[in-house]
């Protein structure tokens, strides 16, 4: 068996400095020079052409060495397979180890499957020196040499592929070599590097590619121009989607960052929803759904990507705004539709850019309108406007007729979370939800957001025939659905025909809201009876004094136990002295309730069976609740 090759016996250095290996004149060059050559080839030819050049260069070296080996008198054909790696090693290319060799004669040819490693490959070492770590194997001349050598030996094409490389950070380069009949088509992509093409042919190909690229850019520019016109004309996302469909005849959809459709075209609504659910199900299965601090439930798709699903193919790209993904644009392909990925990817990126511009305009307009509206409403509530005419004139700029009758609502919310960051996020989301709710209903109102509450001025035309209470109920229902962990209650002022009385109406709504409970979430000021109108800023001090005098010792040194007694008394009075109903409302046993009532009677020094005295107690408690001195309504 062949064990070694002594290359030194075949080296002959002439007196004139010429070096011959056997009959071939050779030269010695440093691997550093080869590294420089490789770098310049990439710079001047590009990476792909450099790869092909070095592979063909190595192929030619391998072919020449194989011709010489075939002229030698070898005992077995396997010796020829081992001779090549020895030549490789002796010429300083790499330290080579063959780990697998399988040879099968077939019709005058040899089918081969060979595997092994290269250690200290001169190409990998030089690549690391000149470029650092690579993302792919780089030993192209070694691949070409091995392929050329064995192709000559086997009398058929043999292709070597590098599985891993030292230039990638691996300890050794691992390779596999097979004849084409063993590759079963897996090496077809590599064959193009072994086929030399003329510069003229490449230029023709490049010219054709440039023409195609020009056509693609032209189509993309036309679409971009149409999309820009849509934005400049103030049209919405649906109009943008329809403009794209007119230009491409390809169904598409624009969604938010949780893949809820914002606009779509080219397919019926039912089909879009069906395909969208299929896509979301795929994402949940493949990526696992998440919920981040921005409320996003799917992992973001950071760049254009194609998804092959069971009933459709989707090409999708993200919409960025302020470095955050706000949504996605997609083309949807059904089975009968052809896919032009290159141009459609370009068009999608243009749609994403225009959609981002649209969303930015909407966000800017939304924030500006909300800020102007809030400032104006604040002035109205503080009574700072000079005249009714001024208020009506400024309201007309916001498409509001403030000369018509109106009511004011105060919505109070309790967010049951002590985390400041989450509470601030909740307040921002509440503002957005309020804006979107009334925008969707196309109702012109004034809104002001304060800590813990939302204040709304609702003109009579916005209330509609159902009335102000129904208007408020519907709004609270939408908020409760959007924010199930928060509790919302509201108070509604009397209807007023004078906008200059808005401050008084706000105070009425505030008083009514203080009487709202978890079971009675909306309270009208008119429902408070005589006590509501009696309370105003001018007599609050006197009412407080009278109420405290009536309740006496129950209010002295107020602590948790006294608060429990006050809530028990309040519930008892509201239920007209019904013990069973009171016990049920405050979740207390009858014996426990009787004990508390006895304690209350001792502190008040009065009998709670006196209806006239009980009425005074109820008025006193309600008065203190209405002016904000007590909170007896459990939220």
pLDDT digits (tens, 9 = 90+) for 72-120: 777 777 778 878 778 777 777 888 888 998 988 888 889 999 999 999 9
**Three-state secondary structure call for residue 106:** strand
Average pLDDT on 2-25 reads: 65
Which helix or strand (DSSP H or E) is residue 13 part of?
Answer: strand 11-13
Q: Which of 107-121, 143-157, 190-204, 471-485 has the lowest mean pLDDT?
A: 190-204
**Non-local CB neighbours of 187 within 8 Å, separated by 6+ positions:** 159, 161, 178, 180
pLDDT band at 202 (very low <50, low <70, confident <90, very high): low
Q: And the tokens for 594? A: 């009787």
Pairwise CA distance, residues 91 & 31, whole Å: 12
More confident residue, 378 or 76: 378
160 and 173 Cβ atoms separated by less than 8 Å:
no
Residue 484's CB is within 10 A of a number of other CB atoms, namely 8
pLDDT computed for residue 10 by the predictor: 63
Sheet strands (E) in 87-197 = 95-106, 109-119, 158-164, 173-179
Helix (H, G, I), strand (E, B) or coil at 495: coil
Rounded to whole angstroms, the Cα distance separating 464 from 577 reads 40
- Of 222-226, 242-246, 371-375, the range with the lowest mean pLDDT is 222-226
In this prediction, residues 583-600 reach a mean pLDDT of 85
pLDDT in tens, 382-403: 887 768 888 887 787 777 788 8
Residues 6+ apart with CB under 8 A from 388: 498, 499, 500
Token digits for 538? 């001018």
- pLDDT (mean) for 543-563: 77
Taking only the tens place, the pLDDT of each residue in 516-550 is 777 678 888 887 765 555 555 556 676 677 777 77
Residue 215 tokens, joined: 């056509």
Beta-carbon contacts of residue 301 (< 8 Å; ≥ 6 apart): 316, 317, 318, 325, 328
Are residues 84 and 56 in contact, defined by beta-carbon separation less than 8 angstroms?
A: no
Interval 496-508: pLDDT, tens: 988 888 888 888 8
Question: CA 231 to CA 359: how far, in whole Å?
Answer: 10
Residues 567-594: what's their mean pLDDT? 84
- 3 pLDDT more than 60: no
Q: How do strand 261-265 and strand 406-415 relate by DSSP bridges? A: unpaired
Contact assessment for residue 418 and residue 435, using Cβ atoms and an 8 Å cutoff: no
pLDDT at res. 635? 40
Kindly report which listed range (290-294, 578-582, 604-608) carries the lowest average pLDDT score: 290-294
| Mean pLDDT in residue range 403-432 | 84
Q: Is there a contact between 319 and 325 (Cβ–Cβ < 8 Å)?
A: yes
Residue 45: closest CA among 54, 34, 56: 54
**Over 80: is that where the pLDDT of 472 sits?**
yes
- Comparing 379 with 43, which gets the higher pLDDT? 379
Nearest-CA neighbor of 133 among 142, 120, 124, 141?
124
Mapped onto helix, strand or coil, the DSSP state of residue 448 is strand
Backbone angles phi, psi at 263, to 5 degrees: -160, 150
Answer whether residue 450 shows pLDDT above 70.
yes
Ordered by where they begin, the domains of the chain are 7-196 (3.30.1380.20), 209-363 (3.30.450.40), 383-528 (3.30.70.270), 540-626 (1.10.10.2840)
Residue 600 has pLDDT above 90, yes or no: no
Contact (CB, 8 A) for 282 and 309: yes
CA nearest to 381, candidates 401, 410, 360: 410
Check: CB of residue 254 under 8 Å from CB of residue 261: yes
Whether the per-residue pLDDT at 324 is higher than 80: the answer is: yes
In a 13 Å sphere around the CA of 301, the CA atoms on its Cβ side amount to 25
| Cβ pair 162, 139 in contact under 8 A | yes
Distance, in Å, from the CA atom of 81 to the CA atom of 274, rounded to the nearest integer, reads: 59
- 9-23, 302-316, 489-503: least confidently modelled range: 9-23
Task: State the helix-helix crossing angle for 140-154 and 47-71, rounded to 10 degrees.
Answer: 40
**Cα separation, 632 vs 514, whole angstroms:** 9
pLDDT at 529: 65
How far is Cα 537 from Cα 541, in angstroms, rounded to an integer?
Answer: 8
Strands, sheet with 158-164, edge to edge from the N-terminal-most edge strand: 95-106, 109-119, 173-179, 158-164
Q: Report the helix count and the strand count for the chain, using DSSP H and E.
A: 22, 17
Q: Output the six-digit token pair for 155.
A: 């009398």
CB 121 within 8 A of CB 88: no
Mean pLDDT calculated for residue range 458-465 = 83
Beta-bridged to residue 327, according to DSSP, are 256, 319
Structure tokens at 157: 């094409």
Residue 249: which of 336, 309, 356 has the closest Cα? 336
pTM above 0.75, yes or no: no
Judge whether residue 192 has pLDDT over 60.
yes
Burial string for 534-565 (b: 16+ CB within 10 Å, else e) reads ebeeeeeeebbeebbebbeebbeeeeeeeeeb
Report in angstroms the alpha-carbon separations of 523 from 156, 419, 543. Answer: 92, 30, 21
Inter-residue contact 400 to 444 (CB < 8 Å): yes
* CA distance readout (Å), 80 to 62, 86, 614: 12, 10, 115
Q: Is the pLDDT of residue 144 over 70?
A: yes
Whole-angstrom Cα Rg for the chain = 42
Mean pLDDT in the chain? Answer: 80
pLDDT at position 338: 62
For the chain, how many residues are written?
635
Which of 97-106, 112-121, 282-291, 562-571 is the least confident region?
282-291
Residue 399's nearest CA partner among 365, 345, 455, 442 is: 442
CA 327 to mean position of chain CA atoms: 7
Residue 379 neighbours by CB distance under 10 Å: 15
Structure tokens at 210: 């440039």
CB of 107 closer than 8 Å to CB of 23: no
pLDDT above 70 coverage of the chain, percent: 83
Q: Give first-to-last CA distance, the chain, whole Å.
A: 94
Using pLDDT thresholds of 50, 70 and 90, give the confidence band for residue 294: very low
Q: What is the mean pLDDT of residues 278-306?
A: 72
């Amino acid at each position: 068996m062949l064990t070694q090759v002594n290359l030194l016996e075949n080296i002959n250095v002439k007196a004139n400095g010429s070096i011959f290996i056997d009959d071939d004149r050779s030269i010695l060059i440093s691997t550093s020079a080869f590294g420089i050559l490789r770098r310049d080839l990439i710079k001047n030819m590009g990476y792909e052409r450099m790869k092909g050049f070095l592979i063909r260069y190595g192929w030619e070296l391998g072919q020449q060495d194989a011709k010489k080996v075939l002229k030698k008198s070898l005992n077995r054909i396997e010796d020829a397979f081992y001779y090549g790696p020895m030549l490789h090693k002796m010429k300083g290319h790499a330290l080579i180890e063959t780990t697998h060799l399988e040879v099968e004669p077939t019709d005058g040819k040899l089918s081969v499957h060979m595997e092994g490693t290269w250690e200290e490959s001169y190409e990998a070492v030089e690549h690391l020196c000149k470029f650092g770590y690579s993302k792919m194997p780089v030993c192209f001349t070694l691949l070409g040499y091995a392929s050329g050598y064995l192709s000559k030996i086997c009398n058929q094409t043999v292709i070597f592929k590098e599985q891993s490389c030292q230039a990638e950070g691996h300890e050794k380069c691992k390779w596999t070599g097979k004849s084409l009949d063993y590759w079963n088509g897996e090496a077809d992509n590599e064959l193009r590097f072994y086929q030399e093409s003329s510069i003229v042919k490449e230029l023709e190909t490049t010219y054709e590619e440039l023409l195609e690229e020009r056509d693609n850019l032209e189509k993309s520019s036309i679409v971009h121009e149409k999309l820009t016109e849509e934005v400049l004309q103030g049209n919405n996302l649906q109009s943008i989607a329809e403009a794209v469909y007119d230009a491409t005849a390809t169904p598409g959809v624009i969604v938010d960052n949780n893949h809820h459709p914002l606009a779509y075209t080219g397919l019926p609504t039912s089909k879009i929803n069906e395909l969208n659910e299929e896509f979301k199900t795929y994402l949940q299965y493949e990526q696992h759904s998440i919920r981040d601090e921005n409320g996003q439930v799917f992992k973001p798709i950071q760049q254009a990507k194609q998804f092959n699903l069971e009933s459709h193919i989707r090409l999708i790209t993200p919409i960025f705004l302020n470095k955050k993904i706000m949504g996605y644009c997609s083309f949807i392909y059904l089975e009968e539709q052809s896919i032009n990925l290159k141009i459609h990817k370009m068009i999608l990126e243009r749609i994403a850019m225009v959609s981002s511009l649209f969303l930015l305009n909407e966000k800017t307009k939304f924030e500006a309108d909300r800020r102007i509206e809030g400032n104006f409403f604040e002035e109205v509530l503080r009574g700072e406007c000079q005249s009714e005419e001024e208020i009506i004139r400024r309201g007309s700029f916001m498409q509001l007729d403030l000369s018509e009758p109106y009511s004011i609502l105060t919505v109070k919310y309790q967010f049951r979370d002590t985390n400041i960051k989450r509470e601030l996020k909740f307040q921002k989301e509440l503002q957005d939800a309020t804006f979107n709710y009334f925008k969707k209903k196309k109702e012109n109102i004034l809104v002001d957001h304060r800590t813990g509450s939302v204040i709304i001025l609702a003109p009579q035309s916005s209330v509609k025939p159902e009335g102000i209470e129904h208007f408020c109920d519907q709004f609270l229902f939408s908020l409760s659905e959007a924010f199930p962990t928060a509790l919302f209650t509201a108070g509604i002022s009397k209807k007023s025909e004078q906008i200059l009385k808005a401050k008084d109406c706000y105070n009425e709504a505030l008083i009514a809201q203080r009487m709202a409970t978890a079971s009675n979430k909306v309270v009208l000021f008119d429902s408070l009876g005589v006590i509501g109108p009696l309370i105003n800023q001018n007599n609050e001090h006197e009412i407080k004094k009278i109420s405290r005098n009536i309740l006496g010792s129950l209010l002295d040194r107020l602590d948790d136990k006294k608060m429990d007694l006050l809530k028990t008394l309040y519930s008892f009075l509201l239920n007209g002295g019904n013990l069973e109903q009171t016990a049920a409302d405050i979740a207390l046993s009858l014996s426990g309730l009787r004990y508390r009532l006895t304690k209350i009677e001792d502190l008040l020094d009065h009998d709670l069976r006196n209806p006239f005295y009980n009425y005074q107690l109820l008025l006193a408690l309600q008065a203190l609740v209405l002016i904000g001195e007590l909170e007896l309504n459990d939220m």
